[in-house]
Structure 1
């Protein structure tokens, strides 16, 4: 038989992780046997030529299971079933797909909701699973949003794993890629890790260095929001440097009080949360690379227009 879709693979993949598998590569031979997939079918590559259909669909099954909280990834390339996942399997489920996963709060939130601070990044994903009324362009747009959202989550996971110094350097790399300092490495600097006075980096606003932007970076877990006291200390540091512009970056988010406070201070301060930081990394190719490109062509009416 041909390679099943990723939703069909969800339940077998979850059972394999319950049996002790730790990554998708270890699952592929078992999936081949369970679904009677031939070697030729298992080796068939996606149009990009970089991954097999079987591997790709199994990886997406694992990704969706993770978004529902049924799997956990303590480190890159290593996955394990959670207590929630084991409890689900204990119910002897007959099927597992996106509709079933909607019962889990984490998955439902990931698929269909966004925080207010994320609303400028993309529109919410459709709540329904019936795609029969979608145009091909609609389907491509929805798929692009899912891929983009998943990549942002992956980036945030990696950002929490890097060292504090590496995180601060990454922020400078993003701002440089956006055009600050004229994109020149010489126009951005890190301050010492200790005794930095609440400032982690400085980057010129333009190639001539007519003004500088001061940076504070906090690598916080998602549930640990940056509050007003952190912003007040940053403002104090800017005042001590006679600085007028600052960017406060965190992998988590900012409290309502923090947002309200920056509207009242003399300095111009931009608050950059984790989701927005990850989106900027994607847009400016920092820590990511293009895997494949889809080209959509249409009829050139002008070519066929008679003189």
Structure 2
């Protein structure tokens, strides 16, 4: 038989984890292939790009969606375990299939699907979807981007504080600030006094300086107004007018409102903003596929 769609893998994936044990994703590929009686030809069938097999791609997306709905959890890299919510789902009478429509009952899943780069709610694809192919490409691009951003945050939190500082340097320099990596590297993470984590040149000549505060906190943590007030106080002590507060966490509404009410120019970059910038400037990410949409060149056909 042909490789099933990714939604067809969701229920058997979750069912396999029902015993509460930890499973490696690599082992689940084999288990699910046997479940669907896939042939060697099916298992080795690849995407049009030739870079990944269909079964790996589709089981991977089934895993992602189950995880975002809170039915399974990541124990460590590429190792998964069912959650209490997942066990409750399997107890539902008559349940034999899990798909995207089923998962929309979970707020965390809807937040993942709808969290696009422009922060607008994007409707889910349906059978009778009337959007154009270009609109669907844009939709799926944002789903992939959102997944990548969450993986980036997970990876950043696994790294050391010194690596985080170096990463911030790479990002800021790539954005056109700091002069050179060497100049920026000598500044950031070296001062360590009075609430300032680093100083970086705003331009190559260093005509103005930007003071940095970098906090590698848990994603669900919140940077509050007192944290920002402390940073602003440090700027006053340095007679500085510009600062950037970067965190992997989130900022409270009060913290954001405070920065808008003061004379100092303080930019707040939370985890979402940070990964957006990393995505935009290719820091910590690389191109996997590039699709170019062509159109007719009418000028070419002019006689």
Compute the TM-score of the two structures, normalised by the length of structure 2. Answer: 0.92
Counterpart CA distance in 2 for 1:35 and 1:106 is 29
CA positional deviation for 1:15: 1.7
Structure 1 stretch 96-105 or stretch 73-82: which is displaced more?
73-82
Q: What is the 5 A alignment of 1:190-269?
A: 190-192=188-190, 195-269=192-266
* 8 Å CA contact retained: 1:244, 1:268: yes
Q: What is the 5 A alignment of 1:89-238?
A: 89-92=90-93, 93-112=95-114, 114=115, 121-127=118-124, 129-130=126-127, 132-188=129-185, 189-192=187-190, 195-238=192-235
Compute the TM-score of the two structures, normalised by the length of structure 1. Answer: 0.91
How many residues align? The count is 300
Instruction: Flag the 1:132–1:224 CA change in 2: closer, same or farther, 3 A.
Output: closer
Structure 1 stretch 14-23 or stretch 4-13: which is displaced more?
14-23
CA positional deviation for 1:134: 2.4
CA positional deviation for 1:122: 4.5
CA positional deviation for 1:49: 2.2
CA positional deviation for 1:38: 1.3
Structure 1 ranges of 4+ moved more than 6 A: none
Q: Matched residue of 2:12: which SS?
A: helix
Q: Matched residue of 1:214: which SS?
A: strand
* 8 Å CA contact retained: 1:122, 1:145: no
Instruction: Look up the match of 1:85.
Output: 86
CA positional deviation for 1:22: 2.0
Q: Matched residue of 1:298: which SS?
A: coil
Q: CA RMSD in A?
A: 1.9
CA positional deviation for 1:220: 2.2
Gaps of 5+ in 2: none
Counterpart CA distance in 2 for 1:72 and 1:185 is 40
* 8 Å CA contact retained: 1:13, 1:27: yes
* 8 Å CA contact retained: 1:68, 1:101: yes
Gaps of 5+ in 1: none
Counterpart CA distance in 2 for 1:210 and 1:27 is 57
CA positional deviation for 1:174: 1.2
Give per-residue Cα distances to partners, 1:82-119, cap 9 Å, x unaligned. Answer: 1111111122521100000011121122223x5xxxx8
Q: Matched residue of 1:86: which SS?
A: helix
Residue 23 (str. 1) matches residue 24 (str. 2): yes
CA positional deviation for 1:21: 5.2
